[in-house]
Amino acid sequence: MKILLIGYGAMNQRVARLAEAAGHEIVAVIPNKNHDAIPYPTVNQINEATEADVAIDFSHPNLLLPLLEQDFELPLVIATTGEKETITAKLHTLSQKMPVFFSANMSYGVHVLTKLLEVAVPLLEQYDIELTEAHHNQKVDAPSGTLVKLYDVIEHLRDEVQPVYDRSQQNAKREKNEVGIHSLRGGTIVGEHDVLFAGVDETITLSHRAQSKDIFANGALNAAEKLVQQEPGYYTFDNL
């Protein structure tokens, strides 16, 4: 494939390295800030990358959303987190004329975790649920897009759930419909996500541990390889 990279932070630098190792070519980069010595041509608009077969985005809503307003018809693999509703709404519109893929987490293992959660939530109807995520100390958004994705599964399967982000501001016992959401930041943690089901005298935890950011880059590349063969439409791990 000939790939346009949207953003050139740590993740898309990994995408570039792994893509070239697999025989793909990076034809251009839309940088999200002033990077020194980008070893590829840079462009400002998606439609300027006329040779590209697909664009892979690991950037920021401030960069991505204005780009999505442009006139182009390039398949998109989007991994930006933050402003999810705005991004996905725009991608649904674009999907009428091109194939687009979105995931808040490009790890296939995280996708499997959501499938396990869909099974577990109805079976553990009487259990309290708490969600915890941990990431490195450079991550800006909290909770992570992945944790939001996990909460969305629970919200879809349980009636009237209520996310609770900070119990230190309350002086009351836990309500049955609460789902506690906790974010930890420190060191170089790649990404950890836990779903705790707490029942009477027992607990069950579903966990995912990312051991290298390469899993996200490879996930994006695998999605791109499949996406370029698809008809226009909105794709996720569920239907790609």
**What SS3 state is found at 167?**
helix
Residue 135 known to be catalytic = yes
| Residue 62 annotated as binding site | no
Q: Which listed residue (24, 60, 135, 208) is catalytic?
A: 135
Distance (Å, whole) CA 124 – CA 113: 16
As a whole number of angstroms, the distance between CA 59 and CA 12 comes to 8
Neighbours of 73 (CB within 10 A): 11
Q: Does 188 count as an annotated binding residue?
A: no
Confirm whether residue 183 is marked as ligand binding. no
The candidate with the shortest Cα–Cα distance to 30, out of 17, 41, 14, is 41
DSSP 206: E
Residue pair 1/228 in contact (Cβ under 8 Å)? The answer is: yes
Q: Which of 2, 84, 111, 139 is catalytic?
A: 139
> Residue 93 annotated as binding?
no
Look up 115 and say whether it is catalytic.
no
Q: Does the annotation place 79 within a ligand binding site?
A: yes
88 is in an annotated binding site: no
Separation CA 5–CA 209 (nearest Å) = 26
104 is an annotated ligand-binding site residue: yes
205 labelled binding-site residue: no
Q: Is 212 annotated as a binding residue?
A: no
What residue numbers does the annotated binding site for NAD(+) cover?
A: 79-81, 103-106
What residue numbers does the annotated binding site cover?
A: 79-81, 103-106, 136, 145-146
What residue numbers does the annotated binding site for (S)-2,3,4,5-tetrahydrodipicolinate cover?
A: 136, 145-146
Catalytic residue ranges: 135, 139
